[in-house]
Amino acid sequence: MELIIAKTKEEASRKAADLIACAVRKDPKIVLGLATGSTPETMYSNLAEDCKAGKVTFADVKSWNLDEYVGLEPTHDQSYRYFMNAKLFDHIDINKENTHVLNGLATDVNAECEAYEKEIKDAGGIAIQVLGIGSDGHIAFNEPGSSLVSRTRKVALTPQTIQDNARFFEKAEDVPRFALSMGIGTIMEAKRIIILAFGANKADAVAGAFEGAVSAFCPASILQMHPDVWFFCDEAAAANLKLKDYYAWHGEEVLKEELGG
Ligand code: F6R
């Protein structure tokens, strides 16, 4: 795993956006896996600015999102389809027909999840998967205890995640208790993973993911088994890492190389 520590969320997001824009320029038909939540918002704004400035085009890009709440209409302002349109798709030149979000209203949940996995495979697999991390170490909605080889399925949110996400709803009771989520096994099949974490409330999860034992109790720790992970943090989120100076030095070097010097 490469770790890039920036002073601020803005700086880290810009660097992560550069890595994605560079990959899209190299492969204009790239398949992206995308995340919602507050973490990638700044990076999405950066990509929208790049697109408006003519530095990158998403015209032939396809995307699949990580997850969606069960029971929310795609037009609900807290649904992840709504989020993606509002934060990214409405501001770039992507063809919305090429953007995919799980249907949280599906009556046959298993069929929905199986079809989603098949679509990703048929598209050639995800080249870059964007991830955030929950304060409990979850990735997508794979909560602690999720099988490390899980596939796309219906999952139950933990009380911690419900509490963390309550800030987006009027009250905690309004947060859906279930979601459809790509599995950890699904995520691990992406060729490259770009994960972002900002703020002190992510510091324990980042340390668990990066330096803890690989364990279903911290689902993000499975990323230690992936050959191509780029972890972008601000200083607060990186605070509990024992070897952070070493990772940061090395991460900057390889990022420069990756972006062409
Ligand atoms: C969102 C997702 C979640 C979030 C995580 C962090 O699609 O899969 O795993 O990445 O809950 O959320 P924020 O970014 O709001 O702190």
Q: What would the pLDDT profile of 202-258 be if each residue is shown by its tens digit?
A: 999 999 999 999 999 999 999 999 999 999 999 999 999 999 999 989 998 999 999
Of 124-133, 158-167, 214-223, minimum mean pLDDT range: 158-167
> Ligand 1 in contact with 237 (CB < 6 A)?
no
Catalytic position from the list 18, 41, 112, 143: 143
The per-residue pLDDT for 176 is 97
Catalytic position from the list 41, 67, 68, 164: 67
Average model confidence (pLDDT) for the chain?
97
Mean pLDDT confidence for 17-21: 98
The per-residue pLDDT for 71 is 96
Catalytic position from the list 50, 136, 164, 234: 136
pLDDT band at residue 64 using 50, 70 and 90 as cut-offs: very high
The per-residue pLDDT for 103 is 98
pLDDT digits (tens, 9 = 90+) for 45-55: 999 999 999 99
CA–centroid distance, 211 to ligand 1, in Å, is 20
> Ligand 1 in contact with 139 (CB < 6 A)?
yes
18 is catalytic: no
The per-residue pLDDT for 204 is 98
State which CATH number among 3.10.580.20, 3.40.50.150, 1.10.760.10, 3.40.50.1360 fits the domain covering 2-258: 3.40.50.1360
Percent with pLDDT over 70 in the chain: 100
Q: Domain coordinates of the chain in residue numbers?
A: 2-258
Mean pLDDT confidence for 107-125: 98
> Ligand 1 in contact with 137 (CB < 6 A)?
no
The per-residue pLDDT for 240 is 98
Statement: residue 124 has pLDDT above 80: yes
76 is catalytic: no
Mean pLDDT confidence for 146-157: 98
CA–centroid distance, 67 to ligand 1, in Å, is 10
> Ligand 1 in contact with 196 (CB < 6 A)?
no
The per-residue pLDDT for 236 is 97
Q: How many CB atoms lie within 10 A of CB 239?
A: 16
The per-residue pLDDT for 80 is 98
The per-residue pLDDT for 160 is 92
Statement: residue 261 has pLDDT above 90: no
> Ligand 1 in contact with 181 (CB < 6 A)?
no
CA–centroid distance, 197 to ligand 1, in Å, is 9
The per-residue pLDDT for 137 is 97
Task: Judge if pTM exceeds 0.85.
Answer: yes
